[in-house]
Every structure is written in C-alpha cells, then in structure tokens.
Amino acid sequence: MNLTTTLAGFLNVLKRNILYFAYAILSLILTFTIYLSALQINVDQLHKSGLVRIEQISERLLGRIASYQQLPNLIANREPVIELLSGKRTISEINQILLQSALLTGASDIYVLDKNGVVISSSNIENEFKRVGENFANEPHVKAAMEGSLGFYHSLSPDDGSRSFFFARGIITDQTQPMGAVVVEVKVDRLEFGWSFDEEAIAFLDENDVIFVTNRPELNLRVVGVEPGKVGGSSFREYDGTYLRPFYPFTQSNLFDYTIMDFQEGIDLPQKALVIYREIPQISLTAKGFFDLGDAYLTAQLQALLSAAVFAFFGVVFWALWQRRQRLTDRLAVEAEANEQLELRVQERTQQLRDTQDQLIQAGKLTALGQMSAGVAHEVNQPLSAIQNFANTGQKFIKRGRVDDAEKNFDLIADQTQRISRIIKNLRRFARNEVEDFEQVNLTDVIRESVYLATMRSRREAVEIITNIEEKQAFVMGGKVRLEQVLVNLITNSMDALSVQSDKRIEIDLTSNGEHHKLAVKDNGSGLDDPSRVFEPFYTTKDVGASNGLGLGLAISYGIIGSFNGDITCKNRANGGAEFTITLPKAEKVVS
C-alpha cells in the first residue's frame, strides 16, 4: 500500500513537471553541442595559425641554410682550390683560404677532398677534431657532389655528438669527372641561436623520428615514439643510442581529425598539445609543432558555461512565468539585457581570434618584403642620379632664362619619378612571388634611352659614347625598364673604369644572328681584376658603402637577364678595357 502510494505520488509530480524535465535534458544536450562546436572552431583557428607559424619558422630555418648552400659553389670555382688538386698550390695556402671563408660566413668547417674522397685541406686544421686524412667517399653528400650535383646531408659527429648540416659541390674543370669536392659543414646550434624565445615548441624530425633541429634545447636528439638503439635505416654514421634520448612519455588521441598529444606536467611542452606536421623536402626533415590547447579548451568551456547559464536563466524565467504570471514583463526585460551582454562577449572574443589570425598572416608578408630591402637602394640609385642631374641642369637653365629647356628637364624628372615607381612596383611584385609579365621590347629603344640617361655624366666627364646598331628592329621578350637598368648600370660601370683615362670611349654594339640578339658594351679602361667574380653579390673593387655602389649592380643585372632567358658575360679586351655581352633570344613574333 505504501509503495503504491509513493509510485502514484511520483507519477503525479512527473506529470506536473514534465516540461521542466524535458527542458533540462534539452539544455544539457544543447550545452554539450555548443561546447563541441566552440571547441572545434577554436581548434580550427589554432590549426590555421599553427600552420602559419610553422611556415614562418621553416622559412626562417631555410633562409639561414640558404646562405650556406651556394658557398661550396663559390669555393669550388676558386682558382687556388683547383690548383691545389693539380699540385700547383700548397695545402697550407688553401687551409688559410678555407679558414678565412669559414670566419667570414660563419661556417663551422670547410674542407677539400681529392677525387678519392680523402680530405686534403681543412679550415679547422688546428682543431682537436680535424678532418685531414679522413675518407668521406661513401658519404651521401660527397657521392652526390662527385656526380655533379649539390650534395646535402645531416648527421651527428661521432666525436662529440654535435649536429651538422653538410653541403658539397664537385670541383669540375675540363675533365669529365670532378677532380675533387668542397664540403661546407654548419653546426645546427648556430642555426638555432635565439629560437628558444619562441612561444611555440617546433621540432624538425628526420626519417627515423629523431628531433634534429628545434627551438627547445631539451628536445634535441630525442626519438619520438621509438626507443633509442632500436631505430633502423639510420642516416647517421653513429646511431646506436649513445647520443640519442627517449621522447617524453605521452598518450596520443584524435580530436576533430587532428592529432593530440597529452604530456605530463613539468616538461617544456604543453600538457595538452595540438600536433601539426609539415614536410620540408629541401632538407629532408619534417616540421612538427606542439601548440597549447589549453586556451582552446578554456574558451570552449567558458562558452559552454555561458550557454548553460543562459539555458538555466531561461529555465528560471519559464518557471517564474508559470508560477507568477504577474511579473512577466519585468522578467522578460532582464532576460533581453543579459542575453545581449552575452552575445557581445561572444562577438568580441570571436573578433579577437580573427585579428590574431590576420596579424600572423601579415607577419609572413612582412618577412618576405624584408628580404628585398638590400636591393632597393641600388635599383633606385640610377633614376635618382638622373633626377639630380636634370634638376641641377634645370636650375642653370632657369638662371639663364632658358625656361623652355628647364621645362623639358622637369618633364624628364617626372619620367624618372614614374620610373622609380615602376622599379618599386617590380620589386614589390617580386617580393610577393608574383609571376613576371613579359612584353616585346625593342633593344634599339632601350639603347637610345639608356644612352640619353647617361648623356649628362658623359658630357661632364668627357666620355665619348659610340653606338653601332645593325638593325633598327631588334625585339626581345622582357621588361623595358629592367633592361634599361641593366644597360645604364653597365654604362655607369664603364664610366667609373674610365675615370683615370685621358681618352675615354665607350662602344655599344647591337648585332644579331639566327636566334639571338647580342648587345655588347665595351670600354678602353683598365679592365677587370677578376672577370670570374664580377657577378658575385657584394663583390666590388670600389669602396663599399660609398656613393660608387654596394657591389650589387652586376649581381642584380645577372639575375634580371637570366629571368628573360638570356645570358650576360664579361671579359677583358685584348687591346685594353672590359667588354660585357648580353645575349637574348629573339621574340617569336613582332606585334605592330
């Protein structure tokens, strides 16, 4: 009897409050749904920003490595190094050259190998771990260099366990096979200098999941997911676990198709980390970023709590409406105000996340633009010099009452200003990795305008400029402004070389053959000290930093002509002076 009465009472209570129970269950479902949705949005945002951050750090590492990739090419082409292998130079002389190159570039070691792969000269000859006498013929980078390509390799030192990148290039002469090789070694810790201040933990793993480069020193040489000594197929010479360490204990799971790692507290990694991968094929490594999910979970929890509070609030209001209909108006007003405040908070938080993402993307753009700053001053220097000459001449014309001539000079100044604008636009397009548009350009027009730009200085310095043009229509595919920059730069360099000559003469020849147009600039100056190096960046015989230049002009010109599928060469003339020759393919069809 008592049980029956209790059950009946419970059913009556349930019947009276069925709407409340249904509302509570629905609120819990919606709150959990909102939590999952907010968490997914936050994780998606963290993944996007993480990809941008990994891209930035990867580009920073590749940028530091890129400065060493061309070093073996430069050293392998140096005459003293070639003469060492033919017995015309002593080892001590080459040791000093390699030491100077290492000190100048920051390389850890530079050494020269003979055709058998034995080290015969090294920059660290005084070091405890000197390489002379060692045979590296079986090393992957040496094999690649001996086959004519740029060798690249990363390994541990068997002496002290230090990590190194290796770049190698074969020493090629007229022989069919390289007569030796140049190897540049760069210690990884030099590339990592200053990275520990980064907020995110980024690691670069090799094919065996060994952390080879990282911005966290505690992660160096840790094996992710594999016990040391059990790794097969190693790319290291010694990979027996002597220098390797196990990775931190973790549990791995998936969240919205993302990889999540849970770590213990007390280590230099987030306790719950979103793991993002990116392959870096240039250095045969995989970038792995560990991004803290704490804020993502906290934000989702706050949004879920806010939602639960809203549902609870509406539940209370619903109960109050049911119990006290007389207070309906006041309760609805309180609900509307509280709901508006909650929506504003959610909108502000969402906007902050979007702003953070935009700032990360903009940082990547600014990094790319910063890499072009070294060449801007040199590219703009030529039109600025022309503007100065036109302005000085215009002042003289005004003083003499020759207003018409002065107006012409001001028109020329306006043209040069537009030219500067075009130059900056081209540099900005290059910095953004945009595709360069080609157009048909008449080389005779380029010669005429370039000579005109140099006329002021040539008159002032009594330099005779002679043009020999076979054809009036010599069309090539390229950019008119950039071709003028190259030609004006060559003319200016010739004038510099003629500064001590009494009879100053520059000849510009335009000839053609079946498939190419050739433009030659000749002078009767003192000639070139080392024609093989004139196109190297920052190589100059002038005072670096003076108004004469920074040693970038010919290097930039070489790149411009190469972008037009052409070639630029130089040599000393038999009767004195220098000769630069530009070869460009003819345009397939001339558009009238």
Average pLDDT, the chain: 79
Structure tokens at 507: 């000849």
- Mean per-residue pLDDT for 300-324? 79
Mean pLDDT of 280-289: 87
Q: Are strands 151-156 and 245-246 parallel, antiparallel or unpaired?
A: unpaired
More confident residue, 151 or 365: 151
The model's confidence at residue 358, banded by pLDDT at 50, 70 and 90, is very low
Q: What is the mean pLDDT of residues 258-275?
A: 86
Residue 546 has pLDDT above 60, yes or no: no
pLDDT of 469: 84
Residue the block writes with tokens 């003028």: 484
**Helix (H) and strand (E) counts in the chain:** 15, 20
The DSSP 8-state label assigned to residue 194 in this structure reads T
pLDDT at 6 over 70: no
Rounded Cα–Cα distance for residues 26 and 321 (Å)? 19
Which two three-digit tokens encode residue 293?
């999910």
pLDDT tens figures, 101-119: 888 888 888 989 988 889 9
Tokens of 274: 């979103």
Q: Where are the alpha helices (DSSP H) in 148-209?
A: 188-191
Higher-scoring residue by pLDDT: 197, 592: 197
Report pLDDT for 222.
Answer: 86
Tell me, what's the pLDDT at 437?
Answer: 63
Which among 246, 282, 212, 289 has a CA at the least distance from the CA of 53? 289
Of the listed ranges 45-59, 200-214, 344-358, the least confidently predicted one is 344-358
In sequence order, what DSSP letters do the residues of 22-72 get, joined into one string? HHHHHHHHHHHHHHHHHHHHHHHHHHHHHHHHHHHHHHHHHHHHHHHHTHH
Q: Identify the residue with better confidence: 174 or 145.
A: 145
CA distance 238 to 156: 7
- Report strand pairing: 201-205 vs 439-442: unpaired
User: For residue 25, what pLDDT band results from cuts at 50, 70 and 90?
Assistant: confident
The Cα 523–Cα 535 span in angstroms is: 18
The DSSP result for 312-356, as a single string, is: HHHHHHHHHHHH-GGGHHHHHHHHHHHHHHHHHHHHHHHHHHHHH
Question: Whole-angstrom Cα distance, residue 196 to residue 208?
Answer: 24
Report how far residue 16's alpha carbon sits from residue 21's, in angstroms, rounded to the nearest whole number: 10
| Phi and psi torsions of 17, nearest 5° | -115, 20
In the chain, the percentage of residues whose pLDDT exceeds 90 is 6
* Fold observed for domain 70-191: Beta-Lactamase (3.30.450)
What percent of the chain shows pLDDT beyond 70? 79
- In this structure, of 24-33, 35-44, 121-130, 506-515, the range with the lowest mean pLDDT score is 121-130
Task: Check residue 545 and give its pLDDT.
Answer: 47
What per-residue confidence (pLDDT) applies to 522? 92
For residue 502, the model assigns a pLDDT of 83
**Measuring CA to CA, how many Å separate 356 from each of 42, 48, 188, 258, 349?**
12, 11, 31, 21, 11
pTM above 0.85, yes or no: no
> How would you classify the pairing of strands 109-114 and 201-205?
unpaired
Tens-digit pLDDT profile for residues 448-480? 888 877 877 888 888 889 888 866 788 898 888
User: Angle, to 10 degrees, between the axis of helix 403-431 and the axis of helix 480-497?
Assistant: 110
Q: What is the pLDDT of residues 202-258, one digit of tens each?
A: 889 888 888 888 888 888 888 886 555 454 444 444 455 677 888 888 888 888 888
Identical fold for domains 192-292 and 436-585, yes or no, is no
Which tokens go with 366?
């600014």
The single-letter DSSP state of residue 232 is -
Which CATH number is 192-292 given? Answer: 3.30.450.20
Give the residue among 273, 168, 165, 246 at the shortest CA–CA distance from 213. 165
pLDDT of residue 581: 92
Per DSSP, helices labelled H in 222-327 are 294-323
Predicted local distance difference test score (pLDDT) of residue 551: 63
Residue 286 φ then ψ, to 5°: -120, 125
Query: What is the distance between the alpha carbons of residues 211 and 161, in angstroms, rounded to a whole number?
Result: 13
CA angle 570, 574, 578 (to 5 degrees): 35
Domain boundaries, the chain: 15-46+296-369, 70-191, 192-292, 436-585
Confidence bin at 9 (pLDDT 50/70/90): low
Predicted confidence band of residue 584 (pLDDT cuts 50, 70, 90): very high
Residue predicted with more confidence, 361 or 100 = 100
Contact 50, 291 (CB under 8 A): yes
CB 481 within 8 A of CB 426: yes
Q: Which amino acid is at 22?
A: A
Tell me which of 434 and 441 has the higher pLDDT.
441
Is residue 157 pLDDT above 90, yes or no? no
**What per-residue confidence (pLDDT) applies to 128?**
54
What's the average model confidence in pLDDT over 409-423?
79
Q: Torsions phi, psi of 499, nearest 5?
A: -60, -30
The pLDDT of residue 362: 39
Q: What is the pLDDT of residues 496-520, one digit of tens each?
A: 888 888 888 999 999 888 889 999 9
**Does residue 580 have a pLDDT over 90?**
yes
Residues 168 and 145 sit within 8 Å (Cβ to Cβ): yes
What is the CATH architecture of 436-585? Answer: 2-Layer Sandwich (3.30)
135 neighbors 155 (Cβ within 8 angstroms): no
CB-side neighbour CA atoms (13 Å) of 175? 15
